[in-house]
Homo-oligomer: A and B are copies of this chain.
Amino acid sequence: MSEASKRGGNKRERILSAAVKTFAKNGFYNAKVSEVASAAGVADGTIYLYFKNKDDLLISAFEDRMQMLNDRLRHELEMLGGTPLIKLRRCLTLHLLIAVEAPSLAEFITVELRQSSKFIKEYDNHQFQEYLRIVVEVIREGQAQGEIRNDIDPWIVTRALFGALDEMLLALVLRAGDVSHELVEARVEVLQQLFVDGLKVDKSERKEN
């Protein structure tokens, strides 16, 4: 029974994984269901035992992967401890690391999320909301502790942050060749400077230097 549930669960997972790869490579609309099936090593019809239709497969893949990312993000933030700004930096890092650790997933998220934004109107987009919520919480914590400025709406900041991160991730993923950890670190550094310190030349800091 646990074997059986593992088999079923395994097949569903294999299909989701194949869907992410296939959709990432060709885009949702150019990807054929039969491609996903053969990438998953199952028959075409099998997909329809686990998902209602192609749209459902897209949404399920999206929600499932976002949940994984959210779980990891939440877990790492808990482990990490540290100040909110340190946590925030961790958020940046984890987001861009997808380009290193799961390039297909990165491509899938950056490209297909926008499609889903249209889908948003029709489905919950629950896990994306959840993602934002996690970051918003970090910012609120920072505001409460006086580390982050108080005069700014955490939701809007988070949304902007996400946009920047997502664009960054897309740029990384679309480069030819692999993305190194060093490159990711460099990008994180820039984003950190940009978002945390700001573009402005800070006179007080200049004096300190």
A interface residues (Cβ-Cβ under 8 A, vs B): 27-29, 85, 88, 110-111, 113-115, 117-118, 120-121, 139, 142, 146-149, 151-153, 156-157, 159-168, 170-171, 174, 187, 190-191, 193-205, 207
Task: Report Cα–Cα, A187/B152, bound state, in Å.
Answer: 10
Number of copies: 4
Q: List 7 A-B contacts (CB under 8 A).
A: A117-B174, A147-B200, A149-B193, A149-B201, A152-B193, A194-B198, A203-B204
Q: Using Cβ atoms and an 8 Å threshold, which residues of chain B touch A203?
A: 204
- Pick the residue among B120, B162, B190, B204 that contacts A202 (CB under 8 A): B204
Q: Closest residue of chain B to A157, judged by CB?
A: B194
Q: Closest residue of chain B to A111, judged by CB?
A: B114
Contact between B201 and A204 (Cβ–Cβ < 8 Å)?
no
- Pick the residue among B118, B147, B166 that contacts A163 (CB under 8 A): B166
Contact between B27 and A115 (Cβ–Cβ < 8 Å)?
yes
- Pick the residue among B29, B152, B190 that contacts A157 (CB under 8 A): B190
